[in-house]
A and B are shown apart, each in its own frame.
Chain A
C-alpha cells in the first residue's frame, strides 16, 4: 500500500520495551493478560457464584501500580524454555545411558546408592512435586502475564525434576543388580527426618495463596538454604566421591533452574520495592518491603527447621566430604548476601547463628 500506510508501524507499538526495541520475548508475552487498568476499561466480565472476578488485586499483599512492568531477566517464552529444558533432559538421558553402558552406574558405592540416591534423593521428588502443585495455581493468580509465565515455568521445572528422579532410579534398577526403588513415599510421609520439610511443603502447597509469597519463600529462602544443603552440597557435592557421576549432573540442571528462578525473584523484589533502575515510582515500596521482610521472618525459621532435621543424612555417606554444620553455615552466609543485596534482613533468628 502507498501513502499513509508506508509510514505504518511494523511492530507492536503498545509494548514499552526493556531495551531499545521490543524483544521477541516481550512481543509474544506482554499484555496477553487483559486488565481493566490497562486496555480493558469495562472491568471484569464474569464472576464466580461466590463473586470473585477473573483476577483479584488482593491475590497478593504486595501492591504495584503496573504489574505488567515486570520482565523475566532470562527472557523466556515457551520456545526458549522448552528448548532449554529439552537440552537439559537430553543431557541427563545421554549421561545415564552412557554410564549404564560403561558400567559406571554399577561402580557407585553401594551405601551411597541405597541411602542417598535411592533413599534421600528419591524423597526429594515429593518435595518438588509439592512445589509444582503450589506454582500451578500461583501462575493462575499472578497479576500480569510476565509474572504468570515465570511462575508457570517454575512449576514445570519442579515437575521435571520430580520425574527425572523417578526415571533415573528406574534406569538404575535396570543397570545395577539388586537395586530397587522402593519406600520413597513412606519415607517422605513417615520418616521423622523429613517431616519438617513435608510440613513446610504442605503449607506452601495447601495454604499459601499469595503467589508473591510463594515465590519469595521458595526462591529466596527454601532453595538457597534447604535445597542448597539437602540437595546441592550433599547429592552433587558428595556424589563424585562415591563413584556417582550422573546424580550430580541431574542436580546441576536443577541448579541452573534455581539460578534462573532466583534471578527473576530478585528482579521482582527490586521492582516492588522501587529499586529497579529506570523503574516507575512505587508508592507502596516501603509497605512492600515490610511485607517481604515479614515473609522472610516467618518462613526462614521453618526452612531452617526442615534443614536442621536433615543433619543425620550427612552421616550416611561413607566418605565425609563436608560437615553439615559447615555446609549450612556457608548456605546461610550466601542466603544472607542474597537478601541483603535486596535491602532486606535475613530472617534467620539470632539464636541459631
Chain B
C-alpha cells in the first residue's frame, strides 16, 4: 500500500535547477512566487484519469441513452432553448481561454505543486470545451429549432454580445499570467461558475431542459479543483508582501472586467429566457457573489493584504438594473442575433416587478412597445424604439448604457485622435492605465458602420436554410417569421453612434 503523502511528495519533486538552458521570458510577470507552497492538487494522474473517465461515461451515457430516447431536448421550453444558442459558444470560449491560461502558468510559475494543479486543470478545460461543443451539437440534432445551434462558432465571431464575451474572457490568458489566474480562477471560477453551472441548471430543469444540467453539473464537479488552484495561487502571491500593490490593482481590474460582461449577460440569460419562473439572477448573485464569494472568502483575506475589489460596491448597486438594460439592447437589435426572442407576457412583467421593484416604471414601456412590433406585416421593427443605438465601450465592448438608460455612466473621450466610449468610471480608468492594451481592434460599430441591416445579415450567415428567413426572430410565433425582404423594407443602416455627434448617446 503506497503512502499517499509520500507519493505526492515524490511526484512533485521533478523540478531541478537548470544549468544548460536560459529561460526565455515568454510570459513576463511582475510577481515573485515562492518555489514551494501548498499543494492544490491531491490526485495522481492515474486517479485523475479514472475519476474523469467515470464522469464522462455517466454524462455522455445519459445523453446517448435515456435522454435521447425520451426526446428530452425537444421537450424543453423553446424560450429557454433559444438563449443556449449564444450562451454555449460564449462559455465555450471561456473554457478554451482557460486551457491556454494553464499552459502559460505552467511555464511562468516556478512552483512544482502549482504546476501539477495547472496541468490537471489544462486537461479539464479541454474536457469542458469538448462537453459544451458536444452539447451544442446535440441540440443541433435534437432541439425543435436547430438553426443557431448548427452555426454556433461561426456566428459567434461577429455577434455583438459574443464579441463582448470574448473580450472579457481573453483576460484569462492575454496579460501577466498571474493576472490571468486572477481573472480565471479567483474571479470567474470561484465567483461565477456557481451561478453559471449550478444555478443555471435549476432554471434549465424548471424549463424542461434535462440535458444541460447533466453536462453543467459534470463540469462543475471539476471546478472545485480550479478554485483550489486559484486559492493556492493567491496564497503564493500574497506570501510575498512586495506583490501586494500590484495584486490589488490586478484583482480590481479582473473583477470589473468579468463583472462588466458576465453580470449583464447572465442577467439576460436567467431573467429573460425563463418561461417557468424560478429565482431571479439578482437573488443568485446576492447568494453566490455577495455572500459567498465576497463575504466568506475575499473579505476574509483583508488581514493578509487583499481588499474587496474597489469597484465591488458600484457593481452591487448596478446589479439591480444591468440585466434589464442589456436585455433592451439585445431584444431591440434582435435581427442582428442568431437566436429567437420571446416577448414578455403580463405574468412575466409581474414577476419582474416583484423581483426588481421599480422595474415597470423604467422598462415596462419598452416591453409593451416590443410586443406590438413582432409581426413583419406591420413593417416596423423594434430598432425603431430607439432613435439610435448606444456606442460600445472601448474596454468591455458592452453597450454604454449601464446601469440604466436615464442614469447611464457613459462618457466619450478622445485618445490618439479618435473618439472612444466608456461605460463606467472603471472601464475609463482601466483604459487610461494602459491604453495600448485596448486599441488594436475594431468595435462592432467600427466594423459594420455603413452596412444596411440586410447586408449585415447576409454577410454574417444569419439566414436559415431556405436562404430567406432570418435565424433570429422577435417572437416564437412560427406564422410570423421575418424574411430578408422584410428587413430590406425597413431600410435600416448600421451607424457608428460615435460618428453621430447629435446622438443622445454621445452626450457625456
Report whether A86 and B53 are in contact in the complex, using a CB–CB cutoff of 8 Å: yes
The answer, yes or no, to whether A207 is at the interface (CB within 8 Å) is yes
The answer, yes or no, to whether B466 is at the interface (CB within 8 Å) is yes
Report whether A46 and B438 are in contact in the complex, using a CB–CB cutoff of 8 Å: yes
Report whether A28 and B130 are in contact in the complex, using a CB–CB cutoff of 8 Å: yes
A188 to B19 alpha-carbon distance, docked (Å): 12
A266 to B44 alpha-carbon distance, docked (Å): 31
Report whether B127 and A78 are in contact in the complex, using a CB–CB cutoff of 8 Å: yes
Smallest CB separation, A23 vs chain B (Å)? 11
Interface residues in A24-53 by Cβ distance below 8 A to B read 24, 27-34, 38-53
Residues of A within 8 A of B406 (CB): none
A14 to B436 alpha-carbon distance, docked (Å): 34
Report whether B170 and A42 are in contact in the complex, using a CB–CB cutoff of 8 Å: no
Report whether B464 and A5 are in contact in the complex, using a CB–CB cutoff of 8 Å: yes
How many interface residues does B have (CB within 8 Å)? 99
Smallest CB separation, A123 vs chain B (Å)? 11
A205 to B22 alpha-carbon distance, docked (Å): 9
A318 to B6 alpha-carbon distance, docked (Å): 32
The answer, yes or no, to whether B100 is at the interface (CB within 8 Å) is yes
Smallest CB separation, B387 vs chain A (Å)? 26
Contact count A vs B, C-beta below 8 Å: 285
Residues of A within 8 A of B442 (CB): 42-43
Report whether B10 and A90 are in contact in the complex, using a CB–CB cutoff of 8 Å: no
The answer, yes or no, to whether B50 is at the interface (CB within 8 Å) is yes
Residues of B within 8 A of A278 (CB): none
Report whether B20 and A136 are in contact in the complex, using a CB–CB cutoff of 8 Å: no
The answer, yes or no, to whether A1 is at the interface (CB within 8 Å) is yes
The answer, yes or no, to whether B152 is at the interface (CB within 8 Å) is yes
Residues of B within 8 A of A3 (CB): 478
Interface residue tally of chain A, by bracket? 35 or more
Residues of A within 8 A of B170 (CB): 44-46, 54
Interface residues in A153-173 by Cβ distance below 8 A to B read 155-156, 159-160, 162-164, 166-167, 170-171
A51 to B439 alpha-carbon distance, docked (Å): 10
1/0 contact string of B420-440 vs chain A (CB within 8 Å): 000000000000001011111
Interface residues in A135-161 by Cβ distance below 8 A to B read 136-141, 145, 148-149, 152, 155-156, 159-160
The answer, yes or no, to whether B274 is at the interface (CB within 8 Å) is no
Smallest CB separation, B8 vs chain A (Å)? 10
State the A residues within 8 Å of B (CB): 1-5, 7-14, 24, 27-34, 38-54, 77-79, 82-83, 85-86, 89-90, 92-93, 125-126, 129, 132-133, 136-141, 145, 148-149, 152, 155-156, 159-160, 162-164, 166-167, 170-171, 174, 181, 185, 188-189, 195, 198-199, 202-203, 205-207, 209
Known: A42-B442, A156-B122. 15 other contacts (CB 8 A): A5-B146, A5-B147, A11-B150, A32-B133, A39-B157, A41-B158, A46-B170, A48-B175, A78-B123, A85-B49, A137-B27, A140-B100, A140-B104, A152-B122, A207-B22
